Structure 1
Amino acid sequence: MRAQAKRVSHEEEEESAFVSMTDMTVGFLFIMMILLAFFASQIMDQDAVSRDAYDQVVTERDEWRSLAEDLETRVVHLESQITDLRRERDALIEERDRLTHDLASARADIEDLNREVQSLKDRIDDLLQQLQRLQVQIVEKDREIQRLEEELERLQQVDPLEAYLARVAQERRDILRRLRDAILADFPELEVELSEESDALRFQGEGLFESGRSTLTPAREAIVARLAERLDEVLPCFTLGGASEFSENCNPGFVMVEAVQIEGHTDSVGSDRFNRTLSAARANTTFFAMTGSTPGIMEHRNLKQQPVLSVAAYGPDRPVTTNETREGRATNRRIDLRFIMVTPQDTNGIEAIREALRSIEETSE
């Protein structure tokens, strides 16, 4: 761009010098023509010059005229060149201005891009720092995952005995729920619920017996008879004996009932002798009502070939709530149907239960 500017400036200087020289030449010729005219006007006959002198002057005049014409032609040509050069110069100036503007715009773009590049570099630095922090967190999480996986692996290595006892507890809860739901379906108004330990069904004393009495009314005898029927339907899959109907479909965990105790309980009102006698009488009344309505219930045997149905009386010794309120005493006056399951001490005991139940299955086949 600078080279173009210098070239244009040099051409302008040459053009100016040429114009000045041309003007001087034309002026000189003009002066000569005036002088010649003046001398011609002063010629007198007495001052006539020779033909040679005249011819020489004419010749010089013609030469100067030809030279003036040549100079005029040259001036016209040069003026045309000057006009063309000025147009080219103007075009170059316009191009220079455009390029100058483009250069300024490009420099502004470069500054913007430099700022954007710097911003991106700052963003990259921030992302790198975040990546480093995340990498540290990932390493920590990997360690935590490894620790938890090791703990999970350790927990998954369950002791066979613990696993079996867990199945026993779950199966007992399922049996009690089935009995409770069946009884409530038959007698919706009856107050019966699972114990906190999910090992017994609880019937409030007034639910089966009138207060202070150990005899069953006909309506309550029907409740006990239906309870015996439902129990007789459940026990065959979890007991031995002639009534056993064990199969892996109904008892896949190979669990066994040790005893089903009919427990009598009272509140703390009255003498200890009276309450114990009353609780025993109520438990025995329930026992005989169940065995009387469903005699086959005594055919269900445990691993020791003992009848699983039995009786226990605790009087006021095992309250489930306070005896200080009327509602609490009513809750403590109850009959519990408690399921006691066979709980082996080791894996050999588990295998003994499996063999006993399998023998029943093989016999039935």
Structure 2
Amino acid sequence: MAFIEETGFGSDGHGEEDENYFISMTDMMVGILFIFIIMLMVFALNFKQQTDVSEDRFERLEEARRQAEIVADRLDILKEQVQVELQQLDKSEQVRSAMLQDIRARLVAQGLDVQIDLANGVLRLTEDAVRFEPSNADLDVTAADNVRKISLVLREVLPMYAACATSVNACGGISTATSVETVFIEGHTDVTGRDDSNWQLSTQRAVNTYRVMTEAQPLLRELINRAGREIISVSGYSSTRPVKDESNKAAWDTNRRIDLRFVMEVDDSERLKEVLALTDQMEGQLFELRSAIDAADVP
């Protein structure tokens, strides 16, 4: 009993102090654990939010990538279509060149001096074939006879390159995709005389040539393009498109002339080339977009 009294917790106060110490330590540990749990919860919540943001960002990047691939596929289809059109244009130019060379060969066989510009589709009737006197739109006897020879050759050749005609069996077997849209009879003057008079004069020269042609070969007016309009037409350019720029009589004689300009149904090469260049630029932009998406992607 004495032992208990001597060593008891309640006899000298050490037991209460020790008990209070352990209680304080427990409370502190519980508090630290509680703080740790709170910190862990905050970390978990932040991690979840960051994960949600990453997943949302990833989904948006994936959608952007899908859209880019769709646009790229459409561009590929468009480029294929443009390439087909350009191939058709190349074929059209080849057909026009063959037609002009055929016409020229037939006219040369009849003794007519003509020139051809294959790049622009022009058959040029030189002053030896159709000559105009200064300030005059009338065809003299020789010029009128030569125009009739030209109209006969056009009558023989053009039906093979026309889309259709109003008369039966007037068209040849050429594909309508490479047919003639218009043949412009273009009148020109030299630089002498008043400009306002030269416009009327050049147009009148074209009109007079047209009349002689169609009177000699009425079938030429029956040839129509895919739009159902007559192929043969007229235009006047005054002195704005000279063959020679020299200021002398020889140049003026050359510039007073008639050109026949052949326009094919698919003469849109420049526009298609611009579209093709635009698609190339868009492909470059798409490549940059894909690179940016890949760089911002979440591993």
TM-score by length of 1: 0.47
> Structure 1: 5+ residue runs without aligned partners?
1-155, 347-365
In 2, distance between residues paired with 1:266 and 1:336?
11
- Which amino acid counterpart does residue 245 of structure 1 have in structure 2? C
Q: Structure 1 residues 181, 344: CA separation in 2 closer, same or farther (over 3 Å shift)?
A: closer
1:211 aligns with 2:129: no
Q: Structure 1 residues 268, 167: CA separation in 2 closer, same or farther (over 3 Å shift)?
A: same
2:177, 2:266 within 8 Å by CA — same for their partners in 1? no
- Which amino acid counterpart does residue 130 of structure 2 have in structure 1? L
Aligned residue-pair number: 186
Q: Which residue of structure 1 lines up, in the alignment, with residue 190 of structure 2?
A: 267
Q: Shift of residue 210 of structure 1?
A: 3.5
Q: Shift of residue 274 of structure 1?
A: 2.2
Q: Which residue of structure 1 lines up, in the alignment, with residue 96 of structure 2?
A: 172
CA offsets 1:120-148 (integer angstroms, 9 cap, x no match): xxxxxxxxxxxxxxxxxxxxxxxxxxxxx
Q: Which residue of structure 2 lines up, in the alignment, with residue 192 of structure 1?
A: 114
Q: Shift of residue 284 of structure 1?
A: 0.7
1:172, 1:198 within 8 Å by CA — same for their partners in 2? no
2:182, 2:264 within 8 Å by CA — same for their partners in 1? yes
In 2, distance between residues paired with 1:330 and 1:184?
21
TM-score by length of 2: 0.57
- Which amino acid counterpart does residue 172 of structure 2 have in structure 1? F
Root-mean-square deviation over aligned CA pairs: 2.4
The 5 A counterparts of 1:181-260 are: 181-187=105-111, 190-195=112-117, 197-205=119-127, 207-212=129-134, 213-239=136-162, 240-243=164-167, 244-247=170-173, 251=174, 254-260=177-183
2:151, 2:216 within 8 Å by CA — same for their partners in 1? yes
SS in 1 for 2:181: strand
Which structure has more helix as a fraction of its residues? 1
Q: Which residue of structure 2 lines up, in the alignment, with residue 119 of structure 1?
A: none
Query: Whose Rg is larger?
Result: 1
Q: Shift of residue 242 of structure 1?
A: 2.4
* Residue identity (%): 31
- Which amino acid counterpart does residue 246 of structure 1 have in structure 2? G
Q: Shift of residue 232 of structure 1?
A: 1.3
Q: Structure 1 residues 207, 275: CA separation in 2 closer, same or farther (over 3 Å shift)?
A: farther
1:264, 1:314 within 8 Å by CA — same for their partners in 2? yes
Q: Post-superposition, which runs of at least 4 consecutive aligned residues in structure 1 deviate over 6 A?
A: none
In 1, distance between residues paired with 2:252 and 2:190?
5
Q: Structure 1 residues 184, 198: CA separation in 2 closer, same or farther (over 3 Å shift)?
A: farther
- Structure with more contact order per residue of length (Cα contacts < 8 Å, sep ≥ 6): 2
In 2, distance between residues paired with 1:316 and 1:252?
37
The 5 A counterparts of 1:31-42 are: none
Q: Shift of residue 205 of structure 1?
A: 4.3
Match of 1:294 among 217, 230, 245: 217
> Structure 2: 5+ residue runs without aligned partners?
1-79, 270-299
SS in 2 for 1:310: strand
Q: Shift of residue 269 of structure 1?
A: 1.2
Q: Shift of residue 160 of structure 1?
A: 1.0
In 1, distance between residues paired with 2:110 and 2:172?
27
Q: Shift of residue 174 of structure 1?
A: 1.1
Q: Shift of residue 338 of structure 1?
A: 0.7
The 5 A counterparts of 1:3-22 are: none
In 2, distance between residues paired with 1:234 and 1:206?
22
CA offsets 1:166-199 (integer angstroms, 9 cap, x no match): 0111111111111111111112xx4310126241
